[in-house]
Amino acid sequence: MTMRTTSRTVTFTQPFLLGAAGEQQPAGTYTVERDEEFVGNGATAAYRRISTLIRLPGRPGSLMLAQVIDIDPAELAAALARDADQA
């Protein structure tokens, strides 16, 4: 099975909430990684999303330096759209 990972950064100008994170995150720039697997045969090539991950910084006073959580890409897109509307 062939896998690929793509990485991008997203910037929130306002604090935001993603369900998987469990608590509100501060405004800032975050790294989002998307893992996909190759599906198809020689004639047809396509990739299917396996996971979308966001890297969250540790909270001040916490023993955790960073956290990587699996998120719903549609929820991320909605949060980014809300952030753009508030800007």
Edge-to-edge strands, sheet with 66-70? 3-12, 28-40, 45-57, 66-70
Tokens, residue 44: 């047809």
Q: How distant, in Å, are the alpha carbons of 17, 33, 48, 59, 64 from that of 26?
A: 9, 19, 31, 10, 16
Written as six digits, the tokens of 50 are: 């396996």
Mean pLDDT of the chain: 91
Question: What is the pLDDT, as a whole number, of residue 68?
Answer: 94
Q: Which residue reads 């759209």 in tokens?
A: 81
Three-state DSSP state, 83: helix
- Domain-by-domain residue ranges, the chain? 3-86
Q: How much is the pLDDT for 12?
A: 98
Residue numbers of the chain with a pLDDT score lower than 50:
none
Q: Are 75 and 19 in contact (CB under 8 A)?
A: yes
